[in-house]
Amino acid sequence: MIEIAVCDDDKAFLKEIDTILKKQNPFGGKYNLTFFQSGMALLKNTKIRFDLIFLDIQMPKLDGIKTAKFLREQGNNAVLVFLTAVSIPSTETFKVAPFRYLVKPLTQANLSEDLPEIFDEVIRRYQTLLIKCGERLHEIKISAILYLTINHKSVDIVTDSGRFTTKETMRELEQKLSPFGFVHSHKSYLINLNRVSALKRLSVTMESGEELPISQPKAVSFRKSFIEYAERKVGILK
């Protein structure tokens, strides 16, 4: 069962998005919807681990950005969708890794492209990569992978929970992972763009704090891929 939270101080909007979601009927109807009217109420929730959170930015006392920061600090990795009447995202919103940035008012028409992509992202985060490490098979959640790097004749897959070494080639793994936003920053590194926290001219910083190289030949194409990916996440590009 997919757990969805909607946090907004506007009661009328909560009813509106409830109606929209019922018409969309995501996940074959296998979802629970929980409403919160403040960031503090959402943070106090300890019973439900949400997979998708719609979060209004402009709320009194504790705004959406601060609420999102607390959620991420608590280890909440839900798909985060910001809701706002402001059309241009601030740099602060990127620090909490939102997937999309939706501008109010929301209607069935203007959500016809956004909602399916949001629901697909929730499903994507459940998808796994089956990998052989020695004599053992490991099932790794794709969203938990930070990057891959060549290690002599093997490839190391670096994840939130540790490092897995496989004899599969980087080319084989790239074919499996490129549809999920994995791009080469260097011939020896395949980066999960969704786990990048900062980008410099010739290096990229991952959410883990590790700084990885960007080779000169890959610099332009990697930056272009990252910018396009980031823009799609906040809904600037269609």
pLDDT range class, residue 167, cuts 50, 70, 90: very high
Q: Which domain holds residue 195?
A: 128-230
Residues 137 and 219 both lie in one domain: yes
Residues 20 and 119 both lie in one domain: yes
Asked which of 91, 124, 157 is the last residue of a domain, the reply is 124
pLDDT range class, residue 99, cuts 50, 70, 90: confident
Q: What's the full length of the chain, in residues? A: 238
> Which structure tokens are listed for 88?
């241009």
The H-or-E segment that residue 7 falls in is: strand 2-7
Give the Cα separation of 230 and 207 in Å (integer). 15
- The count of other CB atoms within 10 Å of the CB of residue 111 is 17
7 vs 19, 35, 55, 65, 136, CA distance in Å?
Answer: 15, 6, 5, 12, 43
Q: Is the pLDDT of residue 236 over 60?
A: no
Q: Provide the CATH number for the domain around residue 50.
A: 3.40.50.2300
Residues 120 and 132 both lie in one domain: no
Reference 229, options 186, 190, 206, 195; nearest CA is 195
Instruction: Of 91-105, 199-213, 224-238, give the lowest mean pLDDT range.
Output: 224-238
Give the pLDDT confidence score for residue 168 in this predicted structure: 94
Asked which of 99, 124, 149 is the last residue of a domain, the reply is 124
Write out the DSSP string of 65-128: HHHHHHHHHTT---EEEEEES-SS--HHHHTT--SEEEESSP-TTTTTTHHHHHHHHHHHTT-E
Residues 133 and 93 both lie in one domain: no
Instruction: Of 37-51, 101-115, 203-217, give the lowest mean pLDDT range.
Output: 101-115
Rounded average pLDDT over 179-187: 93
Determine, yes or no, domain membership for 237. no
Residues 56 and 95 both lie in one domain: yes
* Beta bridge pairs of residue 195: none
